[in-house]
Amino acid sequence: MVSILITAGPTREHLDDVRFLSNASSGRMGCALAEAAMAAGHQATIVLGPVEMTPPAGATVIPVTSALQMKAAAEDVFATCDVLIAAAAVSDWRPVARQDGKPARQPGDITVEFTPNPDIVAGLAANKGNRIVLGFALESVSAGLPAAIERGKRKIVNKQLDAVVVNLHDTIGSEQAEFVLCYADGREQ
C-alpha cells in the first residue's frame, strides 16, 4: 500500500475576520484523486482547504484555511508519505497585517500590502528523496495550451517535480476536463 498525500482546494488569506483573498478552486480534483487512490488500494490523506464538497469516505482529511496552515499540515504528513500530489490552489500572497474584527466601510481608496506565501510543493520537493512529487499548473485560457505546457515544464525543473498536470483555468469546478501530464523526462500524455 502506498501512502499518498494530496493537497486540495483553495486557501484563504484573511484581510480581517470576514474578508479574504482566495480563488475559485472547488477541491473536486483533489478529492477525485483521493478516491481513485483508495480504489486502487492506497492510503490517501487530503490536506483540504475550505470547500463546499464532502471529501471521499475513507480518506484522512486535514482541514486548513490559510497557505501557512496548509504548509504546516503538508510538512507533517509528507514526512511519512510515499507520493505527494499537490493539487491545491494555494494563494500566492497574504496580507502583511490582518485587521481584527470587521472594519467599517470608509470613503475613498484603501491600500493593502501583501507578502508572498511560501511555495509549498517546491519546499517539499526540495527534500523529497526517493518520493514522487506531482504538481499542477493551472494556466490562463488566453495564454493557450502550448504556452501553458511550456510553463508547466518549467515548473518541473524549477520546483524539482517528477511530473506536472497542466490544465486551463476554465476547468475550475468542472466535472470533466482535459489535462496534459508532463513528465520530468520530457514525455507528454
Residues that are catalytic: 23
Q: Which of 130, 127, 185, 123 is nearest to 153 (CA)?
A: 185
Strand partners, 182: 164, 188
C-alpha 48/C-alpha 73 separation (Å) is 10
Q: State phi, psi for 107 to the nearest 5 degrees.
A: -70, 150
Residue showing cell 497574504: 94
Strand partners, 163: 134, 183
Region of 158 please: left (phi>0), alpha (psi -120 to 50) or beta.
alpha
Beta strand 83-86 with 60-63: parallel, antiparallel or unpaired? unpaired
Q: Report yes or no: 85 and 60 within 8 Å, Cβ to Cβ.
A: no
